[in-house]
């Protein structure tokens, strides 16, 4: 647990440092009066990242890593309402919902920041305004779809922290197959769409050499690493995680 906590806070520190550097550079080059929507969205992302990291930490630190998953029928029957085990597992299960909600909000806030960045740079270029508007609509609709999946896959919602009887995988927020699959699919498709939006403009530019175009394409393509990480994360949760084999 200590290693995972250390890793989480190291990643948080690095993420906040990158966001802070971005904001400082924007203030120095544009001034506070000319900050745009993408700048403020990055501040919102930083706040969400702090909240998400704290919530994820609290699952282990406060709730001892317990929730309503990873239990056999016999184990569920043995947990009495009001017991310490019951309190830990229901509290952990409720926190898992908050973690997933905040995680999705963080991811889609970053996607929204990219959309606003594109709008600031390319909305005045012929043919790109519509593409960016489509990206904004797609990102907004996909966020809504993911959140609705989380809250509609398990009804009534109190089953998300039900211990006995087993509420089913769809009511175990950390490993819910409907939620994880929808989140993964829409995460990949939105990221892919956002990655290809600037490429046509890049390759049509007359002011860049072939080497520069290839270099910038490689930089944009590095975003596919984010997609690979998303696939790896969901594979671990769906297949490798011991909590999944209950």
Domain range annotation of the chain: 2-244
pLDDT score recorded for residue 123: 73
Residue numbers of the chain with a pLDDT score lower than 50: 242-246
- pLDDT on residue 241: 59
Q: Provide the pLDDT for residue 41.
A: 97
pLDDT tens digits, one per residue of 94-138: 999 999 999 999 999 999 999 998 898 887 777 788 889 999 999
How many beta carbons lie within 10 A of that of residue 202, not counting itself?
14
The pLDDT of residue 1? 59
* pTM for the model: 0.90
Instruction: Give the pLDDT of residue 138.
Output: 97
Distance CA 170, CA 149 (A): 10
95 alpha-carbon distance from chain centroid: 16
């Amino acid at each position: 647990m200590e290693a995972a906590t250390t890793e989480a806070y190291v990643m948080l520190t690095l993420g906040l440092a990158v966001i802070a550097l971005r904001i400082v550079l924007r203030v120095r080059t544009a001034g506070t009066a000319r900050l745009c929507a993408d700048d403020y969205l990055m501040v919102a992302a930083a706040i969400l990242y702090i909240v998400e990291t704290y919530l994820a930490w609290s699952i282990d630190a406060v709730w001892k890593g317990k929730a309503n998953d990873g239990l056999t029928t016999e184990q569920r029957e043995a947990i009495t309402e009001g017991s310490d085990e019951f309190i830990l597992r229901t509290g952990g299960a409720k926190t898992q919902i908050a973690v997933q909600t905040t995680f999705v909000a963080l991811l889609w806030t970053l996607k929204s920041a990219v959309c606003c960045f594109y709008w600031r740079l390319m909305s005045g270029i012929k043919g790109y305004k519509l593409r960016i508007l489509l990206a904004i609509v797609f990102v907004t609709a996909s966020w809504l779809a993911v959140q609705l999946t989380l809250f509609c896959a398990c009804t009534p919602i109190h089953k998300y922290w039900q211990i006995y009887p087993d509420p089913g995988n769809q009511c175990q927020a950390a490993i819910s197959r409907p939620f994880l699959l929808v989140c993964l699919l829409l995460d990949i498709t939105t990221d892919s769409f956002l990655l290809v939006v600037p490429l046509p403009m890049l390759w049509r530019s007359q002011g860049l050499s072939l080497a520069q175009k290839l270099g910038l394409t490689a930089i944009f393509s590095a975003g596919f690493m984010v997609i690979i990480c998303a696939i790896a994360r969901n594979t671990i949760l769906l297949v490798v995680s011991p909590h999944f084999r209950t």
